Amino acid sequence: MFVCGAKCVSHSPPLPFPSRCLNSNLSSSSNNYRPAVILPGLGNNSGDYQKLEATLNDKYGVSTVVAKVSRLDWFRNAAGLIDPNYWRGTLQPSPVLDWYLKRVDDAVEEAKELAPPGSTLSLIGHSAGGWLARLYMEQFGVSNISLLLTLGTPHLSKRCLWCYRSNQGSS
């Protein structure tokens, strides 16, 4: 199920993120748009998203925070290579990606400070940042998130099979 404002669109097989619809706080006034958090893709850094951040802020009036990630940060993922589960295709994202989820949570907290009281946030995930946004929502909850937009995200790639496998048999 995709979360798109107030709409939920089901797909088969079901994608592993919260299976409830979220109501949107969309407004016709451009100064009431919910803030957005941009989640960089694998190997990208925060600076790669400056143009998107500026466009959302300046042209559309959307307060935007980019999760603070550097290219060197991604080398932390190499720790997963020494885990035999990596080679079996059964490696879980935690603890290898905990550093990234902490950066996302920091960005979400910063964006919440920019939001009017009671409003929600949008998550914009690029590439692996899209499925990491789903993981973030699964682990940290969705009460502050009303929209997930993913760009070029490999939702059902072999590298993301843990997403699908971990939700088989769950309701």
**What pLDDT does 10 receive?**
36
Which domains are assigned to the chain?
31-167 (3.40.50.1820)
pLDDT digit string, tens, across residues 135-166? 999 999 999 999 999 999 888 755 555 555 55
pLDDT at position 22 = 38
Q: Provide the pLDDT for residue 17.
A: 41
Q: What is the pLDDT of residue 168?
A: 58
Bridge partners (DSSP) of residue 64 are: 36
- Residues contacting 66, CB < 8 A, separation 6+: 37, 38, 40, 46, 49, 50, 53, 107
Q: What is the pLDDT of residue 19?
A: 39
Supply the pLDDT for residue 80. 86
Q: What is the pLDDT of residue 165?
A: 54
Q: How confident is the model at residue 49, as a pLDDT?
A: 97
3-state secondary structure of 163: helix
Question: What local confidence, expressed as pLDDT, does residue 87 receive?
Answer: 83
Model's pTM, two decimal places?
0.74
Query: How far is the C-alpha of 144 from the C-alpha of 77, rounded, in Å?
Result: 28
Residues 6 or more apart whose CB falls under 8 angstroms from that of 126 comprise 38, 39, 40, 41, 44, 49, 150, 151, 152, 153
In this predicted structure, what is the pLDDT of residue 91? 84
Q: With a cut of 70, list the residues of the chain below it in pLDDT.
A: 1-32, 157-171
